[in-house]
Structure 1
Amino acid sequence: MKLVLSLLLLVTLNQAATAQPNIPKKKFHLYVLAGQSNMAGRGVVEEQDKVKNPKVWVLTKNNTWELASDPLHFDKPEVTGVGPGFSFAKAMAEKDTNIVIGLIPCAVGGSPIDVWEPGKYYEPTKSHPYDDAVARATAAMKSGELKGILWHQGESDSDSLKSQSYEAKLEALVKRFRKRLKKKSLPFAAGMMAEYYLDLHPYAKTINAAILNLPKHVKNTMSVSASGLKEKGDKTHFDSPSARELGRRYAEAFQELKQK
């Protein structure tokens, strides 16, 4: 009897690990969440963030699908929390009731844009941010169709030297992702830093200018405003309501791009 129960438990666990939406591949819309900690999410998780939505799935650390809830990321498990990804996905699913959203968490807290290049290793999380993102997106695309990348990064480049080259590196990053993922017009949305960060880090304004200029230089890209958003008390990370609002703004940007 114990053997039978053990086998049943093993089968159940295996089914849970390999679960994915029962929906045609073309209707499973995938989005990569990339950048650093404000994309990964550092907001306090509240009850509303734990409520799962049958139309929003997430690719786990082990490249399996499960219903999404915050925290989505695993870059720094001890501090991950609410980011923009979950609210973005819910807003996108609400706009089109015929689709299911699949999120691919790839953001890495603290990572500068320089480690978002092939072969670059990021010691604090012992990861290869760019290579890992490409590998996870490729694995996810077996189940659905990749529809875009959400990018929020720049705090680690907000100094007098790194900020000057940020615009060129961001444009190169978009083109590199598109080439590696074989999606030459893949939509790419870049989020800006909020006023509270700009007040303390003047060179962040140069980063924001680069993000704002991105759509002028690269087709099918968008900049997403962080105006009016609040911090959680550490002068760096969005609080939970602001992270959710940022996610909705990303969704609005993608919807606007579709209408063009």
Structure 2
Amino acid sequence: MNLFHKFAGAACCVFGLTMLAPQAEAAPNPNFHIYIAYGQSNMAGAGPIQTGDQDPVDNFVMISGVDCNSRKGGTNIKLAKGQWSKAVPPMFHCQEGLSVADYFGKTMAKEMPNVTIGIIPVAVGGASIKLFDKAQWQSYVNSSESWLANWAKDYDSQGNDYAAIINLAKKAQEVGVIKGFIFHQGETDGGMGNWEQVVQKTYNDMRNDLGIKEELPFVAGEMVYNGACHGMSTRVNGLSKYFAKFGVAKSQGTGMQGDRLHFDHDGYVEMGKRYAQEMLKLIDKTVDPDAPAVQVPLYGGGSAGSEKPEEYGPYGDVFKIPGKVQAEDYNKGGSGVAYSDMDSKNQGDEYRGDGVDIYKAGMGMAVGYCQKGEWMKYSVHVEEDGEYEMIGRLAGDNGTGAIAVYLGDDKIGETMVSEKGPDYDTYSDVSGGKVTLKKGDYDLKIQIEVDWVNIDYVEFKKAEAEVVEPDPENPVPSDTTVKDTLPVVCEGSECFEPIGIRAGVLANRVEDMSKAQYFDMAGNRIGKASALKQGAYLVRIPGVKTFVVRNEK
């Protein structure tokens, strides 16, 4: 059915979409993620279908709300109500077109290759939000024009499209997990004063009727940019007040068709990707490594799904410290377990083929396009107790991009800020200071602290002990020079015993420690962190004094 175009003048815009639900005789698989898609015609699909749009993806499926023996665009994939099929356009009605849901699903499937994405597609062009309100659908359908009522009845014989969504979703819950909602609607309801409240009600009613207690992500889309209903986009953005986990797919920069109501082909593609970008920010992307492979039985025979996720562990050999931890060789295990990547596109598209942005850097590989909050984990083995120099090989053109390193749950060393270079391919060494490590096996995490830094590797070098150079005016004393009778001066929890100091230098006052150097009692240079763990150690403030510090318990 493609009647909406005939009635576009009667309502500013109409879009629909409802996606979500798996089916199969098995326990729900946590790696089968299902999304409910509902709304008006931009969700239902009014875009031209071009070459490649109907190429199926193995881990992207739909549970159909309609029966279709043939579909627009020539695909040979048939649909049966309540049955799973590989997801290709048109998903919502047999003779509709490209929808924002199509490239939403394709993008999600690409970004989460160890997960199967399922869509529950229910949308009616020209429909008010009242069609999806369990309290208003009956009166709305009864008062609607016949073309709209008949379209709604494609999903349910009475036109109860709310019930159609719930029935499909319950079937989907038998084999997968409902992870969120995508929504494009509002063009018809520009004059509806309580539109926002009714949208929220449909979401809450669906969650309650499906037994979902947690708040799920809800991503809505703006109207066609500078189109006939563009003003409604303000209210779409205002939905943020009504949802705990909310995102908006912005429409600026996308194209429209001549009716100024619908996106053009590239606009549908881009909007679908933007829906995915927002959803990826809101969902828990953790992949369950213990779950079996997802295998969805398809209408007409065969199956689709995703492989069993990789078990968490090193990608190759465990990294040894001292040595280099190559950024691109983060652990196996997938998103949320071995790494977290914020954007929805693999920008570099090299080497690993998952969500981390790896690109060629000279003769090797590096991790780039890094954004704050992203991280990668690595299995490492520290070969011996000791103090190590930590160095990051970083690149950037802004001088602000930064990373931090964690061993287990503890941050080690200093945040490393990339130097301001001519581009993102010119790397330099950045010191993370000295770190004291204990022998053993650990998870090491590289975390992005400030946007836009490229990472080649993080290296650990065994710190060499420094021997104290003579200072004629300020000699480092041997322990035999310690005078227990001298006054003790304390700074915080540290108490200083002055030794070999020129008269009047200490005089019971705390000195400026910003330039202090630390030594063990044999005269070897050590870091402050190591010194604080010892019972007594030497401190030199160049040109001022040298003294012993006794840690008081």
TM-score over 0.5 for the alignment?
A: yes
- 2:241 corresponds to which of 216, 241, 256: 216
Deviation at 1:19, TM superposition (A): 8.9
Q: Aligned letter for 1:63?
A: G
Deviation at 1:138, TM superposition (A): 1.4
Which structure would you say has the larger Rg?
Answer: 2
Q: How many residues align?
A: 232
Deviation at 1:245, TM superposition (A): 0.7
User: Secondary structure, in 3 states, of the residue corresponding to 2:170?
Assistant: helix
User: Secondary structure, in 3 states, of the residue corresponding to 1:130?
Assistant: helix
Percentage of matched positions with identical amino acids: 29
1:180 aligns with 2:203: no
Match of 1:255 in 2: 280
- 2:30 corresponds to which of 26, 41, 60: 26
Q: Deviations over 1:93-117 (max 9, x none)?
A: 1111210111111111111011211
- 1:116 corresponds to which of 97, 113, 132: 132
Match of 2:92 in 1: 73
* Structure with greater helix percent: 1
2:23·2:173 contact (CA, 8 Å) conserved in 1?
Answer: no
TM-score by length of 2: 0.40
- 1:194 corresponds to which of 224, 227, 245: 224
1:238 aligns with 2:266: no
Q: Deviations over 1:61-95 (max 9, x none)?
A: 21111111111111xx44x1001112111111111
1:138 aligns with 2:167: no
Q: Return 5+ residue gaps in structure 2 as ranges.
A: 1-21, 67-80, 142-148, 154-158, 284-341, 343-372, 374-553
Q: Aligned equivalents of 1:145 and 1:213: distance in 2?
A: 28
Deviation at 1:191, TM superposition (A): 0.9
Q: Aligned letter for 1:138?
A: K
1:100 aligns with 2:132: no
Q: Aligned equivalents of 1:51 and 1:248: distance in 2?
A: 17
Q: Deviations over 1:215-246 (max 9, x none)?
A: 23320122221122221222211111111111
- 2:183 corresponds to which of 130, 142, 151: 151
Q: Return 5+ residue gaps in structure 1 as ranges.
A: 1-17
**Which structure is higher in RCO with an 8 Å CA cutoff and minimum separation 6?**
1
Deviation at 1:208, TM superposition (A): 2.2
1:63 aligns with 2:47: no
1:214·1:223 contact (CA, 8 Å) conserved in 2?
Answer: no
User: Secondary structure, in 3 states, of the residue corresponding to 1:223?
Assistant: strand
User: Secondary structure, in 3 states, of the residue corresponding to 1:150?
Assistant: strand
Q: Aligned letter for 1:49?
A: D
Q: Aligned letter for 1:208?
A: S
Query: Once structures 1 and 2 are overlaid, which stretch shifts more, 117-126 or 147-156?
Result: 117-126
1:40 aligns with 2:40: no
1:35·1:153 contact (CA, 8 Å) conserved in 2?
Answer: yes
User: Secondary structure, in 3 states, of the residue corresponding to 2:194?
Assistant: helix
Q: Aligned equivalents of 2:165 and 2:221: distance in 1?
A: 18
TM-score by length of 1: 0.81
